[in-house]
Structures are given as C-alpha cells and as structure tokens.
Amino acid sequence: MIKIDQSLVDKLKGAHSIVFFTGAGISAESGIPTFRGENGVWNKLKPEELANFDAFLRNPKMVWEWYNHRKKVIHESQPNAAHHSIAEFQNHFEEVTVVTQNIDNLHRRAGSRRIFELHGNIERNYCVNCKTYYNEELEFKDGIPKCKCGGLIRPDVVWFGEYLPEYEFDEGEKASINADIFFIVGTSAVVYPAAGLIQSAKRGRAVLVEVNLTRTEISSFVDYSFTGRAGEIMPAILEKYKLSVVN
Ligand code: BJW
Ligand code: ZN
C-alpha cells in the first residue's frame, strides 16, 4: 500500500497548473531500458561513444545500429500506467504540461496533449548537410542512410554538447516557472540544461514532487519524495486526489 500524504492532496486541490518533468525511468516499466542506474544501458555502453556528434561521424553505422535497435524496442512497447495517469490528469486540471527528456513518444500515445520534448524524437531524422527532414522509413545502404544530397542522415535527437531545441526548452521553462505542482518522474536529474528546470520551478512557486525507484541527487531538495515504481505511484496519487474531490 502506497502512502500518499494528505497535505499533497490538499495542495493538488488548489492547483491549476501541473507540470510533469519526465525521464527514462517512466518508460522502464514499458520495457525501455534507462541510461543510468541498475540495468542502465550505460553500464555496458559508453555515452561518449554513442550520444555525441563526433562519435556519429566516426562510426555512423554503429550509432545507427543502436538507434534502430531502440526504435524496434519502442515500437514494440506500450505506454504504462504512469503515462496513462499523467494523461488522465488533463481531465482534472486546467493546465497540464509534460516536459520530457524522452524521445519515445509514449506520452503522446497515452493521450497527453501539451508535450515539450527537450531531447528530440526518435521518429524524426534530418540530413546533417542540407537539414532536409526525413520522417518516413529510411533506406539504409551498408548500414547508413544517406540524403539525396549525399549527406549523412541522423536521428533528430539531442546529443551531448548540442543545444536543445529552443522553442521546446523555452516553453518547457515557462511552464516550469508557472507550475503550481511540478512532478519529477523517473529521471536521475543529472543532465543539463534539462535538470535546471527543477530549479526554475522551485524559483517560481511550485511544490516539487519526485517519483523515482531510488533516492537521487535532488531528493533532499524536493518537497515530497516517493520511492518506488512510477507505474504504481502515479496512479495512486491520482486516485487519492479523485477520492478526496468526491468526498
Ligand atoms: C524509475 C523506474 C521506475 C527506473 N519508476 N523511476 C559538466 C561536465 C560535462 C558536461 C556538462 C557539465 N554540465 C553540463 C554539461 C553538458 C551536458 C551534461 O549535462 N552532462 C552531464 C551528464 C554532466 N549537457 C549537454 O551536453 C546538453 N547540451 C548542452 O549543454 O548544450 C549547451 C552546449 C552547447 C555546445 C557546447 C557546450 C554546451 C545536451 C544533453 C543531451 C542529452 N542527451 C541524451 C541522449 C538523447 C537522445 C537519446 O535518447 O538517444 O538524453 S543523454 C540521456 O540522458 C538522454 C536522457 O534524456 C538524459 C537524461 O537521462 P534520464 O532520463 O534522467 O535517465 P537516467 O537513465 O539517467 O535515469 C533514469 C532514472 O529513472 C533513474 O534515476 C532510475 O532510478 C529511475 N527509474 N526505473 C520510477 N520504474
Ligand atoms: Zn541533404
């Protein structure tokens, strides 16, 4: 039985604007591996060999193998109870925003409508030379997709050392600053500037609520810290809120 503090439910009752800041951990129960922590892919693979542009130029075939593998896993997965309950918050609050570091589309597939994707989306690709977008199935020759201009095509995701998409970050930041309640779900909160939104929300007026399998670097900074699976805790928070509204 998960204990949800009544004081959090009371704060939710007075809230208009809710932000969910999410990371890889929210999709773990859908079968998509996280990056860090127990079972994180970066226990085996080095991020600097896969998630930066120089690595891609050095070995585009290897980087594409990784993304094609992940795309397959994502296509075979379904949104879980955490994604679904976040989408259901839209039925109870005026403004619900998802600011996600994930590239997997599971929030959209669960029905969330206002989503800002800070690290891109695995379904989009573009040519590094002429910037033409390729959102359909790519053609691979010797393991590498090429543009009609001859340039390399890459996934439209944000690697280390790259800027985040300006519009998505600015809108995510505005929502964070204006949030009444700011949920931080399934992220180690170590990658910047995304993790800086937690401070932005705190500098605004938000109550910070962390949901994570383990304690993290921000656990002592937040107002409520729930340790456990997002797929169990998020529905429990929503259910307790719904019950308290009818009573
Ligand atoms: C559960 C659960 C369950 C499990 N329920 N919870 C200092 C030194 C060196 C560099 C830097 C520095 N300070 C800042 C930087 C720059 C760098 C950075 O932040 N590095 C740090 C790691 C040190 N940042 C950047 O480079 C960014 N760009 C930038 O700064 O631009 C400015 C600039 C431009 C030019 C020159 C210099 C600067 C870009 C960062 C891009 C990150 N990209 C990736 C890959 C995206 C594409 C892809 O997916 O392939 O984004 S890396 C990876 O980390 C991915 C994630 O979105 C991101 C965050 O990870 P996340 O989501 O938190 O996942 P995990 O695995 O870390 O955590 C999962 C959590 O879930 C865990 O806590 C579990 O416990 C939990 N969990 N199961 C609940 N069931
Ligand atoms: Zn091109």
Q: Residue 119 is part of a domain; what is its CATH number?
A: 3.40.50.1220
Pocket of ligand 1 (CB under 6 A): 23-25, 28-29, 34-37, 40, 51, 101, 103, 119, 157-163, 186-188, 190-193, 211-214, 216, 229-230
Note whether residue 85 is domain-resident: yes
CA distance 124 to 44: 26
Note whether residue 239 is domain-resident: yes
Note whether residue 31 is domain-resident: yes
Does the pLDDT of residue 181 top 80, yes or no? yes
Determine the pLDDT at residue 49: 75
Note whether residue 100 is domain-resident: yes
Total number of domains constituting the chain: 1
pTM exceeding the 0.85 threshold for the entire prediction = yes
Note whether residue 69 is domain-resident: yes
The ligand 1 atom nearest the CA atom of 24: 62
The best mutation among 20, 168, 191, 197 to test binding of ligand 1, ranked by most ligand atoms within 8 Å of the C-beta, falls on 191
Note whether residue 1 is domain-resident: no
CA distance 232 to 93: 21
Residues with CB under 5 A from ligand 2 (ion): 127, 129-130, 132, 147, 149, 151
Determine the pLDDT at residue 38: 79
Inter-residue contact 124 to 165 (CB < 8 Å): no
CA distance 19 to 95: 8
Q: For 133-139, what is the mean pLDDT?
A: 93
Print the domain residue range for 122.
6-246
Does the pLDDT of residue 41 top 90, yes or no? no
Note whether residue 214 is domain-resident: yes
Q: For 83-104, what is the mean pLDDT?
A: 98
Determine the pLDDT at residue 44: 78
CA distance 169 to 2: 33
Does the pLDDT of residue 151 top 90, yes or no? yes
Determine the pLDDT at residue 232: 98
Note whether residue 164 is domain-resident: yes
Cα atoms in the 13 Å half-sphere on the side-chain side of 55:
17
